[in-house]
């Protein structure tokens, strides 16, 4: 998960990069300006010195050659020996940049009345002076930039401090144990800014409403769990007692079977709704359980739902695996898949297969069209070949439970031949004991 830095940290990074960039640009600018200025000064000094010596030599042939702190000169007379340094000898008239072990410089070669004049401007000496005296203003400029940037950063930080304080409070707020009072404007330090106060008050109102919603949800699930299950239990007991009566007509027996089946179906739906209504806190404890045992119980439970329908419901175990989750949530998920298969299969078989990390429910029912497959998990959608059966919420419940626990449910169907629903469990665990390699089947 990407972690984003706070506003204060980003401001600090931004100002630091800005100061570094300006410092580098200032240093490069000063260096470039010094180099260009030095080159121009060197050429101007050489040209002025050459013209001055030429005028002086015209009146005084024995006038001394230039020999100053910056400029040295040599005169090469035709037919006479000279002491021109090897690095200058042979240069054509004009300006030349000289690099040698003796130092860097700018040479100027020109012809005058007495011969060829060689002048050398020593750039090392003024460079040291430029660096010495130029470093002082550069340091001053950089210090001024640093100081101005620091003041700007402090001012920006002070302006954003209410937002940073609000973000700190929100960051420490625990949604699982909400305390809206911590978001009240009076409890947030430095929340004097009007905009921040508006944000704080909006968050406080939102947190208060959210806490009220959560409390109502908890009250509903607690009350519904008791108030809805109680009458269902009464109906189930009454139906069981009535089934033991002798002399019931065939019509009464069929009606009683439908009542008992509807009671079981309503119980399963209520259980699923209560699990979904609890949101992230299902109220059910995660534990390690053997998937095969839970699936076997669901198969036995829905076998009675078939009644006298010519449909065989069987369980085939190719493997055994365990899960760490609420067993009741898993039972509701698989139970809805089995219930759908039994409900929409009029003849043939419903086979529940257990693999190494999946449970597959295969029926020989009416099947589903392409449009039905695309919309099968939508709430209250009933396929075109359901015949008005079901409520269209079973698969929607399965999808929501699977998404919550990281499971995956897929459907494959052929119109008129049947449907295969597969629940995949990526977090499947090996059981304590494995089945033999041959497939086992429970009658």
pLDDT level of residue 425 (50, 70, 90 thresholds): very high
pLDDT level of residue 2 (50, 70, 90 thresholds): very low
The answer, yes or no, to whether residue 424 has pLDDT greater than 60, is: yes
The answer, yes or no, to whether residue 222 has pLDDT greater than 60, is: yes
> For position 435, what pLDDT does the model report?
41
Q: What is the mean pLDDT of residues 317-326?
A: 91
Nearest to 71 by CA among 92, 47, 100: 47
pLDDT level of residue 234 (50, 70, 90 thresholds): confident
Q: What is the mean pLDDT of residues 67-77?
A: 84
Domain ranges in the chain are 7-78+85-143, 284-442
Q: For residues 118 and 77, what is the distance between their CA atoms, to the nearest angstrom?
A: 11
* Three-state secondary structure call for residue 171: helix
Q: For residues 49 and 72, what is the distance between their CA atoms, to the nearest angstrom?
A: 10
Q: For residues 80 and 72, what is the distance between their CA atoms, to the nearest angstrom?
A: 20
In eight-state DSSP terms, residue 433 is S
Q: What is the mean pLDDT of residues 199-214?
A: 78
> For position 422, what pLDDT does the model report?
95
> For position 380, what pLDDT does the model report?
67
The answer, yes or no, to whether residue 434 has pLDDT greater than 60, is: no
The answer, yes or no, to whether residue 121 has pLDDT greater than 80, is: yes
Per-residue pLDDT reduced to its tens digit, 378-404: 876 666 555 555 556 778 888 888 988
Could you tell me what percent of the chain has a pLDDT over 70? 78
- Torsion angle defined by CA atoms of residues 56, 58, 60 and 64, in that order, rounded to the nearest 10 degrees: 50
> For position 129, what pLDDT does the model report?
58
> For position 15, what pLDDT does the model report?
74
Cβ–Cβ < 8 Å for 304, 275: no
H-type helices in 344-393, by residue range? 370-375
Could you tell me what percent of the chain has a pLDDT over 90? 12
Say how many CA atoms lie within 13 Å of 124 toward its Cβ.
8
Per-residue pLDDT reduced to its tens digit, 25-65: 777 776 776 666 777 778 888 888 888 888 888 888 778 88
Q: What is the mean pLDDT of the chain?
A: 78
Identify the sign of the CA torsion 79, 84, 86, 88.
negative
More confident residue, 4 or 255: 255
Q: For residues 119 and 74, what is the distance between their CA atoms, to the nearest angstrom?
A: 7
Identify the sign of the CA torsion 350, 372, 273, 334.
positive
> For position 443, what pLDDT does the model report?
42
284-442, CATH topology level = Heat Shock Protein 90 (3.30.565)
Partners of 414 in the beta sheet?
418
> For position 125, what pLDDT does the model report?
59
Q: For residues 36 and 292, what is the distance between their CA atoms, to the nearest angstrom?
A: 86
Q: For residues 325 and 248, what is the distance between their CA atoms, to the nearest angstrom?
A: 44
Question: Phi and psi (nearest 5°) for 429?
Answer: -120, 150
> For position 83, what pLDDT does the model report?
82
> For position 295, what pLDDT does the model report?
94
Q: What is the mean pLDDT of residues 116-143?
A: 71
- Torsion angle defined by CA atoms of residues 250, 256, 257 and 263, in that order, rounded to the nearest 10 degrees: 170
Question: Which of 110-119, 143-152, 217-226, 367-376 bottoms out in mean pLDDT, i.e. has the lowest?
Answer: 217-226
More confident residue, 209 or 333: 333
In angstroms, how far is the first alpha carbon of the chain from the final one?
49
Nearest to 204 by CA among 176, 183, 179: 183
């Amino acid at each position: 998960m990407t972690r984003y830095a706070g506003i204060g940290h980003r401001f600090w990074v931004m100002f630091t990069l800005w100061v570094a960039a300006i410092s580098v640009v200032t240093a490069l600018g000063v260096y470039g300006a010094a180099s260009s200025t030095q080159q121009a000064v060197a050429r101007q000094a050489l040209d002025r010195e050459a013209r001055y010596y030429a005028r002086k030599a015209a009146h005084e042939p024995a006038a001394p050659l230039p020999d100053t702190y910056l400029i040295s000169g040599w005169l090469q007379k035709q037919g006479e020996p000279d002491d021109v340094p090897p690095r200058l000898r042979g240069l054509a008239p004009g300006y030349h940049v000289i690099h040698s072990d003796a130092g860097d410089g700018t040479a100027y070669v020109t012809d005058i009345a007495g011969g060829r004049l060689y002048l050398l401007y020593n750039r090392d000496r003024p460079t040291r002076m430029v660096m010495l005296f130029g470093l002082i203003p550069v340091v001053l400029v950089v210090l001024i930039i640093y100081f101005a940037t620091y003041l700007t950063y402090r001012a920006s930080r002070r302006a954003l401090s209410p937002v940073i304080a609000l973000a700190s409070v929100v960051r420490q707020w625990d949604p699982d144990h909400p305390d809206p009072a911590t978001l009240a404007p009076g409890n947030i330090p430095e929340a004097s800014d009007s905009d921040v106060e508006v944000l704080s008050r909006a968050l406080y109102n939102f947190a208060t409403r959210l806490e009220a919603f959560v409390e109502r949800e908890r009250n509903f699930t607690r009350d519904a769990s008791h108030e809805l299950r109680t009458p269902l239990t009464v109906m189930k007991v009454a139906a069981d007692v009535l089934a033991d009566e002798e002399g019931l007509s065939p019509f009464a027996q069929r009606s009683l079977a439908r009542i008992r089946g509807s009671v079981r179906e309503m119980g399963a739906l209520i259980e699923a709704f209560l699990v979904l209504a609890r949101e992230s806190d299902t109220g059910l404890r995660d534990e390690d359980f053997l998937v095969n045992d839970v699936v076997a119980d669901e198969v036995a439970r829905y076998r009675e739902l078939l009644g006298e329908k010519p449909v065989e419901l069987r369980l085939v175990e190719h493997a055994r695996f365990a899960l760490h989750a609420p067993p009741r949530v898993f039972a509701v998920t698989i139970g809805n898949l089995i219930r759908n298969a039994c409900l929409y299969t009029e003849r043939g078989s419903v086979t529940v297969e257990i693999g190494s990390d999946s449970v597959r429910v295969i029926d020989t029912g009416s099947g589903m069209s392409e449009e039905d497959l695309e919309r099968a998990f939508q709430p209250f959608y009933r396929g075109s070949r359901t015949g008005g059966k079901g409520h269209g919420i079973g698969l929607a419940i399965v999808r929501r439970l699977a998404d919550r626990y990281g499971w995956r449910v897929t459907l494959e169907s052929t119109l008129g031949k049947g449907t295969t629903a597969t629940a995949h469990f990526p977090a499947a665990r090996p059981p304590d004991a494995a089945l033999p390699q041959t497939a086992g089947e429970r009658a």
